[in-house]
Amino acid sequence: MKVIIKKNQQEAGVEGYKVFKEAIQNGAKVFGLATGSTPVTTYEEIVKSDLDFSDCTSINLDEYVGISPDNDQSYKYFMNEHLFSKKPFKKSYLPDGLAEDPEEETKRYNKVIADNPIDLQLLGIGRNAHIGFNEPGTSFDLETHVADLTDSTIEANARFFEHVEDVPKQAYSMGIGSIMKSKKIILEAFGAEKADAVAKMIEGPVTEDAPASILQKHPDVVVLIDEAAASKLSKK
């Protein structure tokens, strides 16, 4: 792991953009993308840049079950707002939150990933060290699946909804087995509330109790964090 510590999220966003730029310069064509507040500054820097994704493919990590793409809390809506409307890709894939047959939808998405090997995967990390919606206890070998969200994840996502009971209880998620096949991974984490998870990911044992710890086994990972998220690392 290459760990980069920046003063704050704004500075880290510039560094995140540089990783994307380098990937494109090295011929990357398929990008795994994440949603939430964490990657926003990276997306802002990308939008301001001259990077061109018109010949590239994007594959998103996850999508809530039961939410339509035009719902302002859907991840499709988020991606359109923060990136796709300003930097369009040739093709952009997200799980279908309204799919009638979840099993068929996971098969479809696994085929999308198999047909489009990911060159650069962007990740955030949950307070319980989840990546995607692969909660603690998820098998490292799992591919796309319907994940039951833990209470802590529902609580963390409640800030985006009017009422906590409005937060979906399930989501489609790219599995850890799929994430680990990406050629390069960049994980971003900001704020003191992520410090425990960051320490487990970088310095803790590799265990399914801390899903992000498996990234220690990947050959090319950049961890991009601010000083607050780095505060519990023994080596800085």
- Which active-site residues does the annotation give? 62, 128, 130, 135
| CA quadruple 209, 210, 211, 214: dihedral sign | negative
3-state SS assignment for residue 154: helix
Which residues contact residue 97 at a Cβ distance below 8 angstroms, ignoring those fewer than 6 apart?
63, 64, 65, 66, 67, 68, 69, 74, 76, 172
69-73: which pairs have CB atoms within 8 A and are 24 or more residues apart? 69/94, 69/96, 69/97, 69/98, 73/160, 73/161
Closest to 155 measured CA to CA, from 175, 136, 134, 128 = 128
Reference 22, options 217, 218, 184; nearest CA is 184
